[in-house]
Amino acid sequence: MYVHNDIGNRSFKFVESVMTLLIVGATTCGVAFAEERRTGGPTPSPEGAGVYFIELKDGATVPTKVTIHFGLREMGIAPAGSERANSGHHHLLIDAELPPLDQPIANDFNHLHFGAGQTEAEIALKPGTHTLQLLLGDKDHIPHNPPVMSPRIRVVVTEGGATPAEAAAPARKRPRAQARDTSERRVNPAYRRYPSYPYYPGIRRY
Ligand SMILES: [Cu+2]
């Protein structure tokens, strides 16, 4: 009877300590998770916001000079320094780890800022494998909260690599517009005799 009681008591203690461990563990995880989510600067980003590479996939082969198009959803582009809700400007991280998300993004060859509001950029990369990542920054170049960033993708740069657009549409060759676009040929010869018209303000000409 006594032994039985002792075992019962011990097993209860064991269960109790396991429960305590579980509770402590869950609390710690919860705190760590909350900490993770809090990263980012003082500017909030709306739900569903995201940045992405347009027509550029992970593992793509690209030439040494490549134009990269930046996609943005659920937010607007605003130049650096301008205060506008739900907006920011693009940053392209080249061969760089994710920087601290609550501080201004560094400005160097690995962290390119597009503070004028650009949505594309031509960059030059050496042949080899490189990583690219987009990270939106607020007026002060600080990531939003939660941060708005793309997955980090890997590109293989070769001297004769196809551009992302060519890779996306390999069947289509040169755009037709290029062959046609000579302004001389587009002018109707009949109009050449009248090179200019008198201009009357307020009267619509057709
Ligand atoms: Cu910036």
Q: What is the mean pLDDT of each run of 10 residues along the chain (206 residues)?
A: 50 49 44 53 97 97 96 97 96 97 97 97 97 98 98 94 63 51 46 40 43
Whole-angstrom distance, CA of residue 88 vs CA of residue 57: 23
List 62's β-bridge partners, or say none. Answer: 157
CB-neighbour burial class of residue 139 (10 A; exposed 0-12, middle 13-18, buried 19+): middle
What is the whole-number distance in angstroms between the Cα of residue 33 and the centre of ligand 1?
27
What is the whole-number distance in angstroms between the Cα of residue 31 and the centre of ligand 1?
30
What is the whole-number distance in angstroms between the Cα of residue 55 and the centre of ligand 1?
23
What is the whole-number distance in angstroms between the Cα of residue 104 and the centre of ligand 1?
8
Please give the structure tokens belonging to residue 85. 């809700």
Q: Is 77 left (phi over 0), alpha (psi -120 to 50) or beta?
A: beta
Cα→Cα distances 194→134, 189, 201, Å: 53, 10, 19
Q: State phi, psi for 163 to the nearest 5 degrees.
A: -75, 160
Confidence (pLDDT) at 206: 41
Alpha-carbon torsion (150, 156, 162, 168), positive or negative:
negative
What is the whole-number distance in angstroms between the Cα of residue 47 and the centre of ligand 1?
22
**pTM metric for this prediction:** 0.63
What is the whole-number distance in angstroms between the Cα of residue 118 and the centre of ligand 1?
11
- Please provide the DSSP assignment of 192-203 as one string: GG-------TT-
Whole-angstrom distance, CA of residue 148 vs CA of residue 18: 39
What is the whole-number distance in angstroms between the Cα of residue 95 and the centre of ligand 1?
17
What is the whole-number distance in angstroms between the Cα of residue 91 and the centre of ligand 1?
6
Confidence (pLDDT) at 39: 83
Confidence (pLDDT) at 171: 53
Q: State phi, psi for 72 to the nearest 5 degrees.
A: -145, 130
Closest to 135 (Cα-Cα) out of 93, 81, 78, 72: 93
What is the whole-number distance in angstroms between the Cα of residue 160 and the centre of ligand 1?
31
Confidence (pLDDT) at 94: 98
- Please provide the DSSP assignment of 49-64 as one string: -EEEEET--TT-EE-S
What is the whole-number distance in angstroms between the Cα of residue 116 and the centre of ligand 1?
9
Confidence (pLDDT) at 153: 98
